[in-house]
Amino acid sequence: MEDLFKTEISALLGGEISCECGKQHHTNARVRKGKFTEEIGKLAAKYAPLSSAVFVSSRGFFLERGGEVLRAVRSGGSDAVNVVLSRRFDNALENLGGLLSLPESMRLVVVCESELYDAAAYFSALKGIPLAYAALSPEAEGVLSPVVTLKIKNKPERLYADNPRFLIADEDKLAAAPKESVAAAFASLASHIVSLVDYRVRGVLTGDFCRASYNLARSAVSDSVNAVYAENAALRLLENRIRMAAAEIFTDGAVSCGGENAAAELLESCGKSRLSAAERKFFASVILIDLYAAYFSAPHELLCVPDYGARAEELAAYTGYGEGEILKNMLACAPLAREEKLAPHIRQLAEETETLRGWMPKIAATYLNLGGRDIFRNFTYAELVRAVCRAPDLPGAFSVLTLMRESGALELLEAENAKISF
């Protein structure tokens, strides 16, 4: 089978891939290398001549480099419109106002900060116009992903993005990226370990599985463990992020739809200090991979039947979701949780989960060595258990946590926690 990890990135994103899974994979995402201002100028000339290009930035970035970017946009013959957003999009109502009142002549969206990528990507996908993201640091959580999520009024809104998306890799800027951004980029890639297990499990249960994409995503994670110590670490991590994005596009996002996403979402309002989405996802994946490994390693019987109504009511009480919406999702996912269908594959699944789990101690140590924040003591045990036990109820994809809920394992975990709390 063709090893997509060895395929040139330009061919991975630019070509048509006839895959063994039976699908033709192609993407609407491209990578350009070069000085970011020059590349922005070229994209403005191509997509927005005599019309508007919107530059989305934070106030800090605008003061530092805004002039440079606006000049680059104008060099392409475009009218440059600047929208200043707060990096914490969901807590700032002016953000929505700023993005919803963009000029009708807008033909290109430009963004240079990974924290604002989602907001820029969401609105460019909504309008169906090209997006140019200049990667000045290797942090690129969700970059080029086909599913764009934006939290609007406390609730994640998801959109499928198939508009042209460009990633500009400025090698000089990447070489000068701060060490913490390398740690964050590494953690973000490593979080995918849990999603990999979930993708495989869903593959067995639904038959929808692309092995080439799975291997591509898996190699992107394993290569990153060594890449962080290379001289051009930032560029190599960014390339692995692009490979991850390719695997996401080939699978319509399924390769990244793991239980760590929901757990991270529920941890947002908890903890001693507020962590970024990437940090929460990384923390959740460190915890969940152990839990997944435990689930697959021990045979078990049905422990109890979940009370869907009570679960939906409780979750609705402290999230932005409606009870009906939660219940609908639970009832859609529950029939997939067929342990007997997994039985013939359980040994293989247990082995692969154990292998991935084996990477984790080195991954966690590498993250801390790189100067990553110590996020491992940020949450209390009770906060963690609540997030993990409620995660499968959030509207989203089926995961191993759904299996654990259906078998009663999560209810048991929660009951144990209640005993500890009293």
Residues at the site binding Zn ion, with contacts judged by CB under 5 A: 19, 21, 210, 212
The CB-of-220 to Zn ion minimum distance in angstroms stands at 15
Helix (H, G, I), strand (E, B) or coil at 185: helix
Cα–Cα nearest to 108, from 84, 136, 74: 74
The CB-of-250 to Zn ion minimum distance in angstroms stands at 6
Q: Which residue is nearest to Zn ion (CB)?
A: 19
Indicate the residue among 55 and 209 with the shorter CB distance to Zn ion.
209
Indicate the residue among 211 and 347 with the shorter CB distance to Zn ion.
211
The CB-of-236 to Zn ion minimum distance in angstroms stands at 24
Contact 32, 166 (CB under 8 A): yes
Q: How far apart are CA 110 and CA 55, in angstroms?
A: 5
Cα–Cα nearest to 87, from 109, 120, 65: 120
Cα–Cα nearest to 186, from 421, 366, 10, 388: 366
Indicate the residue among 212 and 364 with the shorter CB distance to Zn ion.
212
The CB-of-17 to Zn ion minimum distance in angstroms stands at 7
> Exposed/middle/buried for 188, CB within 10 Å: 0-12, 13-18, 19+?
buried
Q: 52-57 and 29-33 as β-strands: parallel, antiparallel, unpaired?
A: unpaired
Half-sphere exposure of 359 (CA within 13 A, CB side): 24
Indicate the residue among 19 and 126 with the shorter CB distance to Zn ion.
19
Dihedral pair phi/psi, residue 229, rounded to 5°:
-100, 0
The CB-of-214 to Zn ion minimum distance in angstroms stands at 9
Indicate the residue among 89 and 214 with the shorter CB distance to Zn ion.
214
The CB-of-212 to Zn ion minimum distance in angstroms stands at 5
Dihedral pair phi/psi, residue 151, rounded to 5°:
-85, 115
Indicate the residue among 203 and 395 with the shorter CB distance to Zn ion.
203
CA distance from start to end of the chain: 55
The CB-of-107 to Zn ion minimum distance in angstroms stands at 33
Indicate the residue among 73 and 196 with the shorter CB distance to Zn ion.
196
**Which alpha helices (H) appear in 191-228, and where do they start and end?**
192-206, 211-227
